[in-house]
Amino acid sequence: MTVKLAISGSAGRMGRRLLALSDNDAGFELVQAIEWSGFPELGEPVNQRAVLASRAKTVSWTDTLAPGADVLVDFSTPENAMQNARRAVELGVRLVIGTTGLQKTQTDALKDAAKSVPVMFAPNYSLGVNLMFRLAAEAARVLGGECDIEIVEAHHNRKVDAPSGTALGIAGVVAGELGRELDRDMVHGRAGQVGKRRTKEIGMHALRMGSVTGKHTIYFCSEHECIEITHTAESRDVFAAGALRAAKWIMSQAPGLYDMRDMLFGTKR
């Protein structure tokens, strides 16, 4: 089965990799490349940017999701992602959302959309990162009650949100395993006379430097030992490949909200 694919944020760094990888996969047919309404190349052929092979010459940049797609993969902005999600529900298009920096009202909107269409919403589409989520949860279950937990994430100097969605995802699975509340127990950096570390703190630290694609480490440290779990992304292709794999998987799913752990490990929220 060929998946008719729409990509939002298609001219961005992630979007270009999604275009290139899907173009080399016979399981996809690109039917739409979506960008913001002020994008200067709207209406022009996508392959003019030399990201696609000849078989995609008929696809032009557009700013609105149109009928005909099976799945929309969105790596754009929170505002555009919400607009696309509403339109996808109207058209019955499945969603794979990789956009980060969403607020609670926006994630709630995705939950509402998932009542009508299958929605994959993951903080990170790397297979290795999602394995890291699972390992972090297991470490928290075994060690967390006796350890200080700190998370450090590093990204390139152009990333606009902090902490990263992946770091928040790691914190979320650990907090869920330990019965902690992120609003109460997560501490973002430390400065000044902060006092003795509280037992239930989950420390969160964001680094922004150079061209770092993405590095995440979670520490579990007791009085006697320290365990580190680290994932380093070597290129954006690891995220694009995972999102495209999710686009194929979501084709066979019923309406509902899914993440990568559902696909990889069969664990439904």
194-232 pLDDT, tens digit per residue, is: 999 999 999 999 999 999 999 999 999 999 999 999 999
Looking at residues 102-130, what average pLDDT do you find? 95
- pLDDT digit string, tens, across residues 254-264: 999 999 989 99
What is the CATH classification number for the domain harbouring 194? 3.30.360.10
- Residue 21 pLDDT > 50, yes or no? yes
216 catalytic, yes or no? no
Which of the following is catalytic: 57, 104, 155, 224?
155
Q: Are residues 186 and 64 in the same domain?
A: no
Q: Are residues 151 and 191 in the same domain?
A: yes
Q: Are residues 116 and 215 in the same domain?
A: no
Q: What is the mean pLDDT of the chain?
A: 92
Tokens of 65: 């999701």
Which of the following is catalytic: 4, 159, 200, 205?
159
159 catalytic, yes or no? yes
C-alpha angle with apex 202: 199 to 205, nearest 5 degrees?
135
Q: Note the pLDDT of residue 54.
A: 47
Q: Are residues 211 and 84 in the same domain?
A: no
Q: What are phi and psi of 253, to 5 degrees?
A: -100, 150
Q: Note the pLDDT of residue 18.
A: 93
Neighbouring C-beta atoms of residue 200, cutoff 10 Å: 17
Q: In what order do the strands lie in the sheet with 186-188?
A: 186-188, 202-208, 148-155, 215-221, 226-232
Tokens of 257: 């909200």
C-alpha angle with apex 47: 42 to 52, nearest 5 degrees?
135
Q: Are residues 227 and 131 in the same domain?
A: yes
pLDDT band at 48 (very low <50, low <70, confident <90, very high): low
Looking at residues 4-8, what average pLDDT do you find? 97
Q: Give how far the C-alpha of residue 38 lies from the chain's centroid of Cα atoms, to the nearest Å.
A: 25
Looking at residues 26-48, what average pLDDT do you find? 89
Q: Are residues 119 and 135 in the same domain?
A: no
- pLDDT digit string, tens, across residues 117-129: 999 999 889 999 9
Q: Are residues 155 and 215 in the same domain?
A: yes
How many domains does the chain contain in total?
A: 2
pLDDT band at 103 (very low <50, low <70, confident <90, very high): very high
- Residue 51 pLDDT > 60, yes or no? no
Q: Are residues 121 and 251 in the same domain?
A: yes
Q: Are residues 41 and 136 in the same domain?
A: no
Tokens of 258: 């899914």
What is the CATH classification number for the domain harbouring 27? 3.40.50.720
Q: Are residues 119 and 7 in the same domain?
A: yes
Q: Are residues 45 and 107 in the same domain?
A: yes
Q: Note the pLDDT of residue 145.
A: 82
* Domain span at 248: 3-125+236-265
Q: Note the pLDDT of residue 194.
A: 93
Q: Note the pLDDT of residue 269.
A: 46
Q: Are residues 45 and 176 in the same domain?
A: no
pLDDT band at 45 (very low <50, low <70, confident <90, very high): confident
